[in-house]
Every structure is written in C-alpha cells, then in structure tokens.
Amino acid sequence: MDSATSSYYLSYDAPLHGDVVDLPYRLVQKLSILIFGLTPYSIKLPSIIIGLFFGLLLVLLLNRWFKSNVSLLASILMILSTPFLFLAGSGTPLIMIVFWPTLLLWLGSKIQGENRPKPMYSLLFSIALLLAIYTPYMIYFAIFCVCFVFLQPHLRFILKSLPKLPLAIVGIIIIAGITALTMNIISHPTTIMELLFADGFEITKFFSNIGNGLAPVFLWNGSLENVFLAPLISLPVFALALIGLFSTTKGFFASRNSIASLLLVFTIAITGFNPQAIIFLILPCSILIAHGLKYLLEKWYGLFPENPYARIAALIPLSLLFAVMLIPGLLQYVNGYRYNPSVVNEFSYDLEVIRSNLTTETLLVKDNYDFYKILSDSTSLTIVNDLGDKTYENLAILREQTDDEKYVLNRIITSPMRENSDIIYLYTVKGE
C-alpha cells in the first residue's frame, strides 16, 4: 500500500526535488495504476513483469557458468520456490534488490566471456549500474563489484585486456551518473540515507537485524511475525545449496566459485540494515544450487563413465530428488500464504472488498487515506477522511462504526478472514 501510494503521487519533476529512491520501479508502478486503476493486479503487475525478466536473466546467467541442463534445473528450483513467488507478487520495489545484481552479473559475464566484448554490452552494463544505484543498498553492490574485479586475479587480467572503447564508455557514463547523484545528495541530504540505510535504521540494531533476517532461513517449522514464510528455503534445497557451497572450496579463486560465497557475505551485511533484505539470498542460493546439481551429476556419472544404462537409470532417482525439492516449496507457497495466521494477517483484502461491493457511495477512510483516495480517479466513489458538517445519503465506513444519530446501519460487509473480518459498515440517512 505504501509502495502504490508513493508511486501514484510521484511528480513528474521528482528528481529535481530529490525523490529518486526506487525511481525506475515507481515509474512503472505509477503507469500501471494509471492504466488499470487501483487494483491488486495493477499494484503487483510491475513486480510480476520484473519477476519474469529476473527468471529469464537467472537462466541466462547460470547458462554462462554451467551446462544447459544444470542451469535450467537450478533456475526452475529457484523460480518456483516460495521466496521468489512471493517476491514476484509483492508489488513493492523489494524485487529490485535481486533484479539489478542478476542483470549486472549477466552483462558482466557477457563482457568477460568474449575475446572482443561488444561495446553494446559495456554500454548496457554502465546504464544498468547507473539505474541500480538509485535502489537502496545497490551502492554497496556497486562497491562490491569494483572490489571483486580488482581483487579477483582472472577478472583483473580481463579488465586489462579489454578494448579501450568499452572501458571509456563505461567510465564516462558511470562518472556522469555519480556526478548527478552527488549533486542530488548535496541538494537533498536525506537521499543518501535512504539509499544506504533502511528507514529508521539504528547502528545498535545492526546485529539484531541480521538475527531477525536469518531467522526464516533456519527456522524449519512454525512461523514468524513477518511476511516471509519459514523456512525461507526448503530443507532439500538448502541441503543441495550446502553441497554446492562445499563443492566451491575446490578452485575457490575461479570467479564463478568465489562469487556465490562473497554474495552470501554481502547478503548478511545488507540484512543488518534491513531484515527484509534477506530476500537477496535468492541470487547466491541459485548459484550454489547449480553448483550442487553439477557436483551430484558429475559424481554419479563418474561412477559409471562407460555404462550408458547407468546414465539412463540415473534419471529415475534424479527425477525423484528434483520432485522432492520442487513440490514442498510450491505447496508451502500455495497453502502458507493462504492459511498461516501470522503471515495472512500481514496482508489486506480491504481493496478487493471495496471494489466488489461499493459503486457510488461515499467512503469514509481514516487510516491510509492517501492510498484509498486513488480510487476516486478510477471509480465513482467519493473518498473522504472526515464527515465534517456534510450529510451523505449513502455512507460507507472502512473498519469503523459511527455514533452519528443521522445515520442508520443497514449492512456489514465482511471478508473470509478469521479475525477483523468486518470490513465495511454501510449506512443510510435516517428518515424524518
């Protein structure tokens, strides 16, 4: 709701006023709401679209480092996992924390893997990096990328051998982007705090935030008072990722081996600023899952290098293993976000109930007024936050009743929720 409100009321001259945090996502969400009106689907549509692109980028990225069968299986396991499905339908800019690094890593792999990288990839990389730094915590990721390139011997060698033109293009665009951001920060100092830290962050809470963020990863049963179901990563997938982490210890200094471990450290670091940033775990976990699958397949085929029947027979246990890892995550998402009380209560169904039951009434809203006021532009409803001295023939009140003697209660509209199910109180003017 906060994301939709912030996006809808985004002004056209927002960058001039320092309102640049999550700007790319908010522009897309504003366009979606303007076209389709304020509905749960228009709010979530940007996340769904970006989620589709993220899934495609994940397949392409893993395919750069692993064989096609390994990259495809690892991508399917992560794309159909509970955290990814939640993220792709969240309707918030949180998905950009995962999208930008995946895009940058794929573009970086295209530059790294070519003898003569095309200037287009360097241009796209620099533009993506420029847009990414306007997402919270992505400044840290940009610094991480620079440090990783200079500390990793193989990447240092590639950087030195790159043609001068791509390097010049990247340098010019990045310098221009940093200059624009610096000027914005000078004019509006709060911008840098929003990009570096979560709202209301205190340094004393850094380690407690890490504990709260990691709790859904290691809590294998029960639930937490947040929007993430526990476990965040199912036990079979977690075990496979651990196998992948173990397999990367051999040849650790290869870029694809060390990147996953370093991304895990990066995930823990940004979780200290915001516990919800633990969702970034999707990216390193995907890489580790691919490593784990690669390790298992190589070990199995290594036992029977010349036996084609053993290779065919391996399809049966591997298919069972894949199903055991895939199905629990899907069932957890489908059932958990529908029936788990501590998680379901974090979501609001008021908007759907309002659009389904109200047509031309006047709706009195006291909480989240700016959000529901958006309905006035796409429906025939009149949204007010105070009755004042006016009298309305048909009055609907969200989540509250009135003791005004001018009105008589006609109907209460409820939802299937177990608690707080009375959503709208419908009144009409009392007859003379």
Q: Is 80 exceeded by the pLDDT of residue 431?
A: no
Q: What is the pTM of this model?
A: 0.86
End-to-end CA distance of the chain: 40
Query: Closest by alpha carbon to 275, among 226, 235, 223?
Result: 226
Query: Closest by alpha carbon to 283, among 419, 134, 98, 26?
Result: 98
pLDDT at 149: 74
pLDDT at 255: 61
pLDDT at 140: 87
pLDDT at 414: 85
pLDDT at 360: 79
Report residue 128 as tokens: 């993506």
Q: What is the 3-state secondary structure (H, E, C) of the chain?
A: CHHHHHHHCCCCCHHHHCCCCCHHHHHHHHHHHHHHCCCHHHHHHHHHHHHHHHHHHHHHHHHHHCCHHHHHHHHHHHHCCHHHHHHHCCCCHHHHHHHHHHHHHHHHHHHHCCCCCCHHHHHHHHHHHHHHCCCCCHHHHHHHHHHHHHHCHHHHHHHHHCCHHHHHHHHHHHHHHHHHHHHHHHHCCHHHHHHHCCCCCCHHHHHHHHHHHHHHHHCCCCCCCCCCCCCCCCHHHHHHHHHHHHHCCCCCCCHHHHHHHHHHHHHHHHHCCCHHHHHHHHHHHHHHHHHHHHHHHHHHHHHCCCCHHHHHHCHHHHHHHHHHHHHHHHHHHHHHHHHCHHHHCCCCCHHHHHHHHCCCCEEECCCCHHHHHHHHHCCCCEEECCCCCCCCCEEEEECCCCCCCCEEEEEEEECCCCCCCEEEEEEEECCC
Mean pLDDT for 272-285 is: 89
pLDDT in tens, 112-136: 666 666 677 777 888 888 888 888 8
Confidence class of residue 327 from pLDDT cuts 50, 70 and 90? Answer: confident
Query: Which of 192-201, 250-259, 320-329 has the least mean pLDDT?
Result: 250-259
Residue with tokens 């003898």: 115
Characterise 92 by phi-psi region: left (phi > 0), alpha (psi -120 to 50), beta (else).
beta
Mean pLDDT for 271-289 is: 90
Q: Is 363 exposed, middle or buried (0-12, 13-18, 19+ CB in 10 A)?
A: buried
State phi, psi for 43 to the nearest 5 degrees: -70, -40
C-beta pairs of 303-308 under 8 Å, 24+ apart in sequence: none
Confidence class of residue 30 from pLDDT cuts 50, 70 and 90? Answer: very high
Mean pLDDT for 176-205 is: 79
Report residue 205 as tokens: 């809470």
Confidence class of residue 139 from pLDDT cuts 50, 70 and 90? Answer: confident
pLDDT at 189: 79
